[in-house]
Amino acid sequence: MAAVTSSPLAGEVRSLCFDHFDRDSQELSWVAFGDFSQAWEKLPALEELVIKSGLGGLLGKLVLPRLRRFVRISSGLEREELLAICGATWPLIEHLELWLGVEQGGAGTVAALSSILAGTGMPRLRHLGLVNSELVGELIAALATSPILAQLGSLDLSSGTLRSPATLIERPGAFGHLETLDLRRNLLTPEDAEAIRAVLPNANVADQRSQSEHYVEVGE
């Protein structure tokens, strides 16, 4: 990031992705991204930002007036980082994807995501991903009555620990307008997956993990 932001071309950078590694080269939970807090004012044209890091780092005050896509891949977001994301200024954001991971100091609670569920400062958001979460059931219940849901075209709740289809079956009308509802790689039985598909044809319930796994898909 220091090299990018010290470049004379920094003001023209539109896409910045820190994600070019996989498990064969490095475990996610070993990777930190450091201090990015002074970077944003030097990247006024940024439209896409992807950060893949398990140990996290310092985001600081996120003011990204042209950002349209933000993806944060993590095995467990820290509370301070999630607060920075929830307090971000990005009025043009269309795609917000957070890999919540294993609960870290309160960061994984539904209450911590209240500003996102309220849609605060995100009038153009069309895709919301709350991925790799331990709280998919609670998130579904909160989303069903949230202001943000109506404006979404797609919702990604994949790779989490959803075991029960109850809330979705009871409230299909809340999610029926979505073009796609991604529930892949959760912990649903074949019977429960079919029960969801019966009331929500837009739900993708393929490739469920075994209920014996208990955990989010990416915890390391």
Q: Are 165 and 139 in contact (CB under 8 A)?
A: no
Residue 218 lies in a domain: no
Q: Is the pLDDT of residue 196 over 90?
A: yes
31 pLDDT more than 90: no
Is residue 155 a part of any domain in this protein?
yes
Output the DSSP codes for 81-106. Answer: HHHHHHT-B-TT--EEEEEEES--TT
Position 20 confidence tier, pLDDT thresholds 50, 70, 90: confident
SS3 14: coil
In a domain, 102, yes or no: yes
Indicate whether 209 belongs to any domain.
Answer: no
| Residue 34 maps to a domain | yes
On whether residue 21 sits in a domain, the answer given is: yes
Range of the domain at 173: 2-204
- Domain for residue 210, yes or no? no
Could you tell me the two tokens for 169?
A: 């079956």
- Rounded CA-CA distance 186/212 in Å is 11
Is residue 172 in a domain?
yes
Extended strands (E) in 59-175: 69-73, 95-101, 127-133, 154-156
Of 19-28, 87-96, 207-216, the range with the highest mean pLDDT is 87-96
Q: What is the pTM of this model?
A: 0.95
pLDDT higher than threshold 80 for residue 30 = no
Domain count, the chain: 1
| Cβ(112)–Cβ(77) below 8 Å | no
Tens of pLDDT, residue by residue over 166-178, are 999 999 999 999 9
Return the half-sphere exposure (C-beta side, CA atoms, 13 A cut-off) of residue 72: 23
Q: Which CATH number goes with the domain that contains 9?
A: 3.80.10.10
